Structure 1
Amino acid sequence: MGRPRALRGVTAVLALCLLVAGCGSGPSQVRAAAFLPGHEISVDQVQQLIDRAVQEQPAAQQLAQQHKLDQVGREAVRQLVLHDLITRAASREGLTTDPALATQLAASLDRPVSINDVDPSQLATAIVARVRDHGEYASDYLLERALGAKYFDKLAITFDYTTVSSDDGATRRDKAFAKAAEMAASPDSAAKVVAADTAAGQEARTGMRFAAVQSPDLASTVLYGVPAGTVVTFEADPGQALWLVAVIRQRDAGTPVSVDQASTPTAGQLASLGIRLLQPYLSDTGVKINPRYGVWDPVAMDLAPSAAESTGLVLPVKGYVQP
């Protein structure tokens, strides 16, 4: 007799979480979860994935009980946005996938995700992957990997940077954002900020050049996804709460780069680089996110619950003229 009562309690929690995950107001929020040029991702599409996750995935049911089902909604929007972008990129770049490998990857998604076997930060990703069309998800992943592989040995950037690593009444994040705005104020501002910080003993340097082949992990960061004349800031070392504030001086992706120390990327690192290489497509096309799902965070190539919870900042340098 206790089991039915417990199930009714769980059902009530799930119903409430579904309502929260899908709630919104205003006519503009009724139909579209996200807008891209020529393509609308509907609220119905996202809600169907949320519903299916709760029905089929025990891990999603646990998130619902913890009132964290909004993570599944944001991840669903993210994956559908990235699907649109990688489809555009594949057409432009002439990318294809191995059908046998796509079938193998799709088959691996048949098994429900276990909350004990996945890093909590990747749980929503794994859940949504299993409730989307498996063939479509597999194709997206392999195309992202192919895009990363195409440019891995060609991509290089030159940048100046400074750091924020101490608190003095303001949070590191606030200080980093303020410094980013200062560096983006004019074409000459960044050099002055870096020079002043260097003179003050702060970790700061100019003319740093890094190729993707030197650090596959670094290559998946926002540093490699924005054009020259852009200031970015993000937490480069969460363990030490170190924020990087950098201005991109040059970005090259046309010819293979020769370096003394090259690293061999994993499949996952190539896919992550591929996702980062979709950032220019997003900058060119733009995306509008329904506020019920949060805001687009270009630093993470993901959705943040709100602008205040984004992982960093991207700013164009005012008055910058492309050489």
Structure 2
Amino acid sequence: MGRPRALVAVVAGALLLAGCGSGPSQVGSAVIVGDHSVGLDQVQSMIDQAVRQDPYAQKLAREHKLDLLGREIVRQTVLHELTARAAEKEGLVADPAKVAGFVAQESSAPVTDTGQGDQVAVTQIVAKLRDRTEVASDVALEQQLAQKYLPKLTVGADYVGISAASDTDADARARAFDLAKQFAADPGKIPATIQQANQEAQQAQQAQQMGMPAAPGSFTAGQASELFGASQYLGLAQTPLFGTEKNSILVFQAQQPQRPDWFVFVIRARGTDQAVPSDDKPQTPSATQLTSIGTRLLQPYLAETGLRVNPRYGVWDVVSMNLAPNQDATKGLVLPLRGAAPAQQ
């Protein structure tokens, strides 16, 4: 298996389609990020190489799942370009010793079925197709980005929680998306809805103490003006809560995998220069967490890239920092508040 967990995390981490204008043409491109374009032929060549050398890729071919490899190639391309942009802006340079250490830990063995699932395998397969030093440098830079901002990264938000019966509860997802659109269109609805959600959440808690589960689609939480510090919430620091710009509405399942509830956040503030006062000692992140947080901190750079993904690979899902087969399969939603600066899509 051989590949360090941190190295897997960078590429496992966890919208815009065609357009006109200057820069590379979408015709013949799998993805365009800024001035960088990856052609359809290049993606297919990488898929063919993977099938030749990796037993797991051969398994995917037999199962007609090679589209997973195509999306993973596009995803890693996007993350690499975002990492380069962030490093340039922040003045970060990958430590050669750390990069060499990561490279030394990589395995040259073909990727086989270890029972960890398709996503882990395709992440490893595509990383092995890329230049090893490039992959390791991305890891080092993302960890540096996280170390720079983690101590003083804060988010202020209002939020409501919506009960879901399962991870795939389509009705709860639809209600969360609809509520987010209402908030985005009419911010005046937010305070009353949060108050209602808070009251319903208290009632639901009392019912649960009596052994009665929350009804699917009901409010399970409601809070205004909550301040989150990334160093106190390492789990949340890896989510879009800490990557989304202020004056945005964010929807995602914030407590996964513990609970499948959907949350609608109203991002009121996002700061990178002042720690949140707390009696709790800041948590110490693992290397894997640092890499995942660094990946999340690439999210704000999406808006400046003019990202365009060929529809055959799906759509870019800003919430998961990944590709989804279509809009219905995205892990959440980001919308701008009416009258505020546009949020990244």
In 1, are the aligned partners of 2:69 and 2:126 still within 8 Å (CA)? Answer: yes
Structure 2: 5+ residue runs without aligned partners? 1-24, 202-218
Q: 1:113 aligns with which of 108, 111, 114?
A: 111
What does 1:16-95 correspond to in 2, within 5 Å?
30-95=27-92
TM-score normalised by the chain length of structure 2: 0.80
Task: Quote the offset at 1:296 in angstroms.
Answer: 0.2
Query: Which residue is equivalent to 1:274?
Result: 294
In 2, are the aligned partners of 1:230 and 1:316 still within 8 Å (CA)? Answer: yes
Alignment-mate amino acid for residue 79 of structure 2 = L
Number of residue-to-residue matches in the alignment = 294
Distance 1:209 1:115 in 2: 43
Structure 1: 5+ residue runs without aligned partners? 1-27
Distance 1:67 1:101 in 2: 38
Task: Quote the offset at 1:117 in angstroms.
Answer: 5.9
Distance 1:190 1:100 in 2: 50
Query: Which residue is equivalent to 1:154?
Result: 152
SS of equivalent residue, structure 2 residue 139: helix
Distance 2:170 2:47 in 1: 38
In 2, are the aligned partners of 1:163 and 1:243 still within 8 Å (CA)? Answer: yes
SS of equivalent residue, structure 1 residue 240: coil
Asked if residue 215 in structure 1 is aligned to residue 212 in structure 2, the reply is no
Q: 2:338 aligns with which of 298, 305, 318?
A: 318
In 1, are the aligned partners of 2:87 and 2:93 still within 8 Å (CA)? Answer: yes
What does 1:256-267 correspond to in 2, within 5 Å?
256-261=275-280, 262-267=282-287
SS of equivalent residue, structure 1 residue 136: helix
Comparing 232-241 and 282-291, the one that deviates more: 232-241
Task: Quote the offset at 1:141 in angstroms.
Answer: 1.4
In 1, are the aligned partners of 2:157 and 2:224 still within 8 Å (CA)? Answer: yes
What does 1:3-14 correspond to in 2, within 5 Å?
none
Asked if residue 309 in structure 1 is aligned to residue 323 in structure 2, the reply is no
Asked if residue 234 in structure 1 is aligned to residue 232 in structure 2, the reply is no
SS of equivalent residue, structure 2 residue 175: helix
Task: Quote the offset at 1:113 in angstroms.
Answer: 2.5
Comparing 232-241 and 219-228, the one that deviates more: 232-241
Change (3 A) 1:166 1:77: closer
Query: Which residue is equivalent to 1:224?
Result: 242
Alignment-mate amino acid for residue 88 of structure 1 = R
Distance 2:107 2:129 in 1: 9
Distance 2:245 2:27 in 1: 35
Distance 2:235 2:288 in 1: 10
Change (3 A) 1:321 1:102: closer
TM-score normalised by the chain length of structure 1: 0.85
Task: Quote the offset at 1:185 in angstroms.
Answer: 1.5
SS of equivalent residue, structure 1 residue 255: coil
Task: Quote the offset at 1:260 in angstroms.
Answer: 2.3
Bigger RCO (CA 8 Å, 6+ sep)? 2
SS of equivalent residue, structure 1 residue 162: strand
Comparing 197-206 and 86-95, the one that deviates more: 197-206
Query: Which residue is equivalent to 1:102?
Result: 99
In 2, are the aligned partners of 1:186 and 1:320 still within 8 Å (CA)? Answer: no
Task: Quote the offset at 1:256 in angstroms.
Answer: 4.2
Query: Which residue is equivalent to 1:243?
Result: 262
In 2, are the aligned partners of 1:152 and 1:213 still within 8 Å (CA)? Answer: yes
Task: Quote the offset at 1:170 in angstroms.
Answer: 6.3
Distance 1:100 1:301 in 2: 28
